[in-house]
Amino acid sequence: MLSIELHPIGHVRSPYQNRGDAPRQGRLSDTVSEIIIDPPYQPGLFRIDKEQHLFVLCWFDRADRTVIRATPPHNPEEHGVFATRSPDRPNPVALSIVDLVRVKGGILEVRGLDALDGTPVIDIKPYVKEIDALCSG
């Protein structure tokens, strides 16, 4: 079986200490959190201050990795976990779109992140409207 090794680039500093503290979806909150980037990766932040929105990929290290079915809060029917946004899943990679509020050295202040305090950050990418916004037709 293939094994994948990830190296966190930093961690989240947020007011959310427990799962019940975090909003169901980060975009539904105005709370500002910080992403602390580890020193070896800080040069990768060059010109990130020019961005308005970012994709942040986190490893939800406190998730239940045995969950394969879940019931979404907006739909009472059970779904396969890959048809939901449940944080509990075999590989708990979280994807959030956040507003970049400010950059202070190796710290990004962001709005709209639903990660718990101490959550490992595995990658950051710019949100590009022309590529990432889908139109329904």
How many Å separate Cα 85 from the centre of its chain?
A: 12
Q: Where are the alpha helices (DSSP H) in the chain?
A: 129-132
pLDDT reported for residue 19: 78
Q: Taking Cα atoms as reference points, which of 121, 97, 96 lies closest to residue 107?
A: 121
Q: What is the pTM of this model?
A: 0.91
pLDDT means per 10 residues, the chain with 137 residues, are 95 89 72 97 98 97 95 90 93 96 98 95 96 79
pLDDT reported for residue 109: 98
pLDDT reported for residue 137: 57
Fold of 10-128: Elongation Factor Tu (Ef-tu); domain 3 (2.40.30)
